[in-house]
Amino acid sequence: MLVSPQHLIDGEVAELRRFGYTPFGDAAPDWAGMWELLKGDFATLRRAHVPAYAGMTPWPQEGARIYMRRRLLADRLFEECQSLYARVHAEGINTELVEAYTLARDAYEEAVLDFGKARAMLEEVFTQTVDLAG
């Protein structure tokens, strides 16, 4: 079976949706809803209960928003990759499109690394706030 470029992207989209990915819209982010999808990443043996977004104090809540904003940025850059990837396959390979896709993919990968850094930052905030409260 020949796998189409769109089929490959659809697989990535399905994986991202597990963590709250939605295509860009004009609505304000649903921080509480997005946090419900992501907070499990912070559960540990010492921190079996990760607070809901509304239950956090301002310090960890801001850390959570930074974490979620970085995920949203990665989502938007992923969409750029999708668009350019589709163009490369629809219009045929040419140097300009391949180079544009390479730039977009590099930016996406950097955004994913920044998302990981934001996760580490929020883990530290939780260690200093949430873990002490329990």
pLDDT at site 23: 62
Query: Residue 21 in 3-state DSSP?
Result: coil
Tell me how crowded residue 64 is: count the other CB atoms within 10 A of its CB: 25
Task: Tell me which residue has tokens 């946090």.
Answer: 35
Q: Which residues, other chains included, contact 66 with Cβ-Cβ below 8 Å and sequence gap of 6+?
A: 118, 121, 122
Closest CA to 75 of 131, 134, 24: 24
For the chain, list residues with pLDDT below 50: 1
Across the chain, the runs of DSSP E, i.e. the strands, are: none
Element (H, E) at 104: helix 95-128
Query: Residue 63 in 3-state DSSP?
Result: helix
**CA 78, 23, 27: angle at the middle one, nearest 5?**
130
**CA 115, 30, 53: angle at the middle one, nearest 5?**
75
Q: What is the pTM of this model?
A: 0.76
Question: Could you give the C-alpha distances from 31 to 36, 37, 57, 71, 92, in angstroms and in order?
Answer: 9, 10, 14, 12, 40
